[in-house]
Structure 1
């Protein structure tokens, strides 16, 4: 393992890393809000089988929707398909579930109109939801583990991502660099409230600073969210 990959793992991926501790705490919060998860059918928009296989809980059934390929060998409680849920025809064919789950996906769907279609699918697919996204004003951009990266001009981000040592997969060309950054649009609290006006908006904090936001419609009422400026 390279030195830079090891450094990224220390912060994001490895057992005991900050990222792993935050994921564990997130699952605990999720379980409190959805105590009946073991008996629920879940559609995961943008999720992976690996995430559910590593999770400290299990739904009755999980259906994954992702543009990326899925593993061929899945357990019988997980099914998957390659599709774009922002396409209304795709969403209409998916049927209904108990819960829509989505982790760090809405910021990737590509612009406000696509986010509105994503939200329409969420509302159509299930009565309950958990939609998490990184917070725009957290000091470190989470995809690239780069301080202030999201506030740079697009051209600067496309150049920097080709050299930044903590990037997960470093682009090899200018074109790949632009493709890596152009469709990541981190959301603010105001935008999430606008998109999910009837949901509770929860904040995940690190050292008192909001790191991510989650729009929730749950079995149990979430704890009241603290008032905060954008």
Structure 2
């Protein structure tokens, strides 16, 4: 079971299903870029420099591209890449940016972290405001393995049991948590979305569903405005 879970989620394994899925997802994204003018401004909400470098994005020499990373705080090592700049800001209130400032807004597994449904909807509204197009991915609530804690059906378990698991075991990307209140905060901070909820936030979007053994692991919405 552990080998299967690692194969599903570990993007550090070059032949893992997760790595192949990420490459396929990125191929869909670059196909959208191909239809855009030669000079492209991308906003990555919640992204990192290493994400783009590990994908070899700049090695591809796709087009003249400038990427802005928006995060609540800077990473330990700020970007030195000439095509990437980092900006401190909030995904639910992008006061840093003007309407239609970016050719496309990209966000990968971030919207489930910003708060409740109202906060998620605010993030979606801001994405649609500052970008002429968007490409947003999020995990599926009903996929049987919760992607952050990498534990079967974790998202549907009673909160007290989730807290017990977190205070007794290292789960997924989280070390064992000593404090119960902190464990509760971690367990409730991630709000996975249903398909319909996600589409309601992006009503004009096209939907792509990433599959694993016939089950939808995550959703991607992408679209543009006339």
- Fold conserved between structures, TM > 0.5: yes
Distance in 2 between the 1:82 and 1:92 partners? 11
Tell me the alpha carbon deviations over residues 167-209 of structure 1, each in whole angstroms, 9 at most, x when there is no partner: 2231432233123221101001110121111111211111111
Aligned residues of 1:135 and 1:188 also touching (Cα < 8 A): yes
| Root-mean-square deviation over aligned CA pairs | 2.3
- 2:66 paired with 1:61: yes
- 2:173 paired with 1:175: no
Label 1:8 to 1:180 Cα distance change in 2 as closer, same or farther (>3 A): farther
Length-normalised TM-score, structure 2: 0.84
Structure 1 residue 99: deviation in Å?
Answer: 0.5
Structure 1 residue 53: deviation in Å?
Answer: 1.0
Distance in 2 between the 1:11 and 1:45 partners? 21
Q: Find the partner of 1:214 among 197, 204, 220.
A: 220
Aligned residues of 1:34 and 1:218 also touching (Cα < 8 A): no
Q: Find the partner of 2:164 among 150, 159, 162.
A: 159
Residue in structure 2 matched with residue 147 of structure 1 by the alignment:
152
Label 1:94 to 1:171 Cα distance change in 2 as closer, same or farther (>3 A): farther
Length-normalised TM-score, structure 1: 0.83
Q: Which has the higher contact order (CA 8 A, sep 6+)?
A: 1
Residue in structure 2 matched with residue 94 of structure 1 by the alignment:
97
Label 1:171 to 1:36 Cα distance change in 2 as closer, same or farther (>3 A): farther
Structure 1 residue 11: deviation in Å?
Answer: 4.3
Distance in 1 between the 2:15 and 2:171 partners? 18
Residue-pair matches, total: 212
Label 1:86 to 1:10 Cα distance change in 2 as closer, same or farther (>3 A): closer
Residue in structure 2 matched with residue 25 of structure 1 by the alignment:
24
Unaligned segments of structure 1, at least 5 residues:
220-230
Distance in 2 between the 1:11 and 1:192 partners? 22
Unaligned segments of structure 2, at least 5 residues:
none
